[in-house]
Chain A
Amino acid sequence: MRVMSLFLCLPLVLTSASAREAPLPPDRAFAFSWQRHDDQVRLSWRMPKGYYLYRAHIEAKDASGRPLSVKTPAGRIKPDPTFGPTEVYYGTARASFRHAGPVRLTYRGCQEDGLCYIPITVLIPAVQERPRP
């Protein structure tokens, strides 16, 4: 109990885990943008050095939760002597899908040997109906 009461007296401090820079906020680690032209949606990401996005974890679902087919180019094989290779994107990544309705997009990535981020979810709105003349 002595230890516990001691903790109550101590301020809690936030530190970086090492000389490595603290992990970036997710919107800077995986800077994301999208463009929609009718039902065609193009996605792109920019990652600073030391961050990567998993190809297998770019997932889109429609409003009912049904998975949509997302086209992604081949990534870079990231070798891992312990767990086997995984396919990832460094620097930039692109993907696309076709769907006119609202889409829930989820993607995942990591800071190299630092942090695997909570999956990031983005809501992409449906095609805007053009006003009739």
Chain B
Amino acid sequence: MISRRHLLAAAPALLAAPVVAQEPAPVPKLPEVHYDPLVPVLGNPQGDVTIVEYFDYQCGVCKRMHPLLLDVVAKDGQIRLVMRDWIIFGEGSHYAAQVALGAQALGRYLDVHLALMATGSQLSKGDVFAALSATGLTPAAALAAYREKAEAYEALLLRNDAQAMGFGFRGTPSFVVGNAVYPGAFQSREDMVQAVAEARARQKPSAV
């Protein structure tokens, strides 16, 4: 069992090598993880604590826990929630991420993201089209906006992937809360609230 608070530098050694060996990704730097001009931010963009979620639109666990996470963020009022698409389940996830990022470019991220997070655990283009019907935005319109910055957005998706691999994450959802790394879903509201409280405590100058 991985106990609480191991130095992240030790994380890649703690986790078994993948079946198909790959070069280890470098450990990402926190400012780059927390701040990115292209990445969608929910909650309070000026908040004092950042939660970064690495997620996939075909990850059932991500979707089941998302309403609780959004509720914790809303009730706290001072959390920046950074949503990083980590495409681990293939084409359907990539397509959904492109639509969501296109919606971000149009200033429509939240409602499109929520619609996509309310879908089943497997996504086809038809599922995405159906999910967006209630938003008034078509996938075609979102994709057109996405294509205007396609190169930059694809680079963002690659950054997200590199960060997640650099943290040694094995799947989604995985989180960075402040400067702490949490592989896997939170089990309860109390766990989320505690992670945020601990992040705030560590950010105090006296805690350094």
Q: How far is the CA of A39 from the CA of B135 in the complex (A)?
A: 51
A19, A80, A108, A110: which contacts B187 (Cβ < 8 A)?
A19
Residue of A nearest to B187 (CB): A18
Supposing A12-B181, A20-B184 touch, asked if A123 and B20 sit within 8 A by C-beta, the answer is yes
Supposing A8-B31, A10-B203, A120-B19 touch, asked if A23 and B181 sit within 8 A by C-beta, the answer is no
Determine whether the beta carbon of B182 is less than 8 Å from that of A16.
yes
Q: How far is the CA of A12 from the CA of B26 in the complex (A)?
A: 14
Residue of A nearest to B121 (CB): A83
Determine whether the beta carbon of B180 is less than 8 Å from that of A16.
no
Q: How far is the CB of A38 from chain B (nearest CB, A)?
A: 24
Determine whether the beta carbon of A12 is less than 8 Å from that of B8.
yes
Q: Interface residue count for B (Cβ, 8 Å)?
A: 62
Determine whether the beta carbon of B171 is less than 8 Å from that of A22.
no
Determine whether the beta carbon of A115 is less than 8 Å from that of B20.
no
Interface size class of A (residues with CB under 8 A): 35 or more
Q: Does any Cβ of B come within 8 Å of A11's Cβ?
A: yes
B11, B184, B205: which contacts A111 (Cβ < 8 A)?
B184
A residues near B, CB below 8 A?
Answer: 3-4, 6-23, 25-28, 56, 80, 82-84, 86, 108, 110-111, 113-123
B residues near A, CB below 8 A?
Answer: 1-11, 14-16, 18-20, 27, 30-31, 34-35, 48, 56, 59-65, 88-90, 118-122, 170-175, 178-188, 191, 195, 202-203, 205, 208
- List, sorted by A's number, 5 A–B pairs whose CB atoms are closer than 8 Å: A6-B205, A8-B31, A10-B203, A18-B186, A113-B61
